[in-house]
Every structure is written in C-alpha cells, then in structure tokens.
C-alpha cells in the first residue's frame, strides 16, 4: 500500500515542524479511509482509494501549501479519488457489498434490543446516504460523518460555502424523504 511506503520515508511536513509525511498519514489514514468507504460503499474500493490518495499526496507533497491544514488537503484528494473511482466503476459498485459493513463498535453498556435498533437505524441512514446523488452525498458525508464545518467542506470540495450550505439543505431533504419512505 502506498501509505506504508510513505510511512517509511519520514519526509518533513513543514520546515518549522518536526512532523513528517508519515505522521500525517498515521493521523489521517482512518479518516481518509472512512470518507472513501462512505462514498464508494465498498471496503476493497475504499482501500484502493485510500492507497491512491496517499500515493498522490506523496507525489505532490512538494506542492502542498504548508500554511493550510494537511487534513483538508488529504480529504480533498480522497474525495476526488473516491468520486473518480465510483464514476469509473459505475453504480453497481455500491451494490456489491452491503453498506452496513461500515458499522462501528457496539456499545457494551447498551441493552441488546436497544443496540439492535440503533444498528438498524445506522444501517438505514448509511443505505439512504449511499443512494443520494453524488453532489449531495459528498457534502453529507463530509459534514455528518467527518464533522467538517461548511467552510472546511468548501475548502475540501473547492465549492463556495454558500453552495455547500444549499447542497447540505437539499441533501438533508432528500435524505429525510428517503428515510421516511423506507419506514
């Protein structure tokens, strides 16, 4: 995987910081994988996207504006890579593996019934998000699964903040309609 190659290189991330490219990979690899998984809906595809993200980031690291957050730069690359991957592979990619594979760790203190209901709710939401048009799915994933602000999403996607806000509103409306229709 490209990330493991980058980890061994220990390139300096900034001239004034002792952090390295490897530290950036370690810090953000889970988030990059999460974005890729939620956009592609497939674990293998998400691994491919994460790998190509870190490979592209490594190759372009000399052009990275070190005054900006590394997280945003990596998420932008990951988002673009995931979108390209989905477009290239077509819509059948999301149907290969169930979206519920992206489940989190169960809360050991929750009752089995409550955990089962919560797991079903999470699966419904993930399935509904995966069915959103790409335009809205990307901003919904970045906002609600990666906790980015509207301004951060605008930086990652290269869209104006007002456009991101409108896309979030429309995406939430589509998501609400899909969830109400699934009941």
| 12 beta partners | 20
CATH class entry, domain 1-98:
mainly alpha
**Residue 33: which residues within 8 A CB-CB, separation 6 or more?**
46, 47, 50
The pLDDT > 70 percentage for the chain reads 76
User: What's the rounded Cα separation, in Å, for the pair 98 and 182?
Assistant: 16
**Better-predicted residue by pLDDT, 113 or 134:** 134
Q: C-alpha angle with apex 90: 165 to 104, nearest 5 degrees?
A: 60
Number of H helices, E strands in the chain: 9, 0
State which fold the 110-183 domain adopts.
Answer: Arc Repressor Mutant, subunit A (1.10.10)
pLDDT at 6: 47
SS3 call for 108? coil
**What's the DSSP call for residue 64?**
-
Q: Mind listing the pLDDT tens digit for each residue in 114-147?
A: 777 778 888 888 888 888 898 999 999 889 888 8
Q: Where are the domains of the chain?
A: 1-98, 110-183
Structure tokens at 129: 């998000």
pLDDT at 120: 83
In the block, which residue shows the tokens 């002792």?
18
Structure tokens at 142: 């970045």
Confidence of residue 10 (pLDDT cuts 50, 70, 90): low
Is residue 182 exposed (0-12), middle (13-18) or buried (19+ Cβ within 10 Å)? exposed
Domains 1-98 and 110-183 share a fold: no
Q: What is the DSSP string of 128-158?
A: HHHHS-HHHHHHHIIIIIS---HHHHHHHHT
């Amino acid at each position: 995987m490209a990330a493991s190659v980058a980890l061994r290189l220990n390139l300096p991330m900034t001239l004034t910081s002792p952090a390295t490219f490897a530290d950036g990979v370690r810090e953000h690899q889970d988030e990059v994988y999460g974005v890729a998984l939620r956009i592609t809906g497939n674990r293998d595809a998400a691994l491919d996207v994460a790998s190509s993200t870190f490979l592209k980031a490594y190759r372009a690291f000399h052009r990275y504006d070190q005054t900006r957050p590394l997280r945003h730069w990596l998420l932008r690359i990951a988002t673009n890579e995931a979108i390209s991957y989905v477009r290239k592979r077509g819509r059948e990619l999301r149907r290969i593996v169930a979206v519920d594979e992206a489940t989190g760790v169960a809360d050991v203190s929750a009752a089995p019934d409550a955990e089962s209901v919560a797991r079903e709710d999470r699966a419904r939401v993930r399935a509904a998000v995966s069915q959103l048009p790409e335009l809205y799915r990307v901003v919904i994933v970045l906002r609600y699964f990666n906790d980015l602000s509207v301004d951060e999403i605008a930086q990652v996607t290269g869209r104006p903040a007002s456009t991101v806000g409108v896309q979030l509103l429309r995406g939430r409306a589509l998501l609400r309609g899909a969830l109400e229709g699934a009941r």
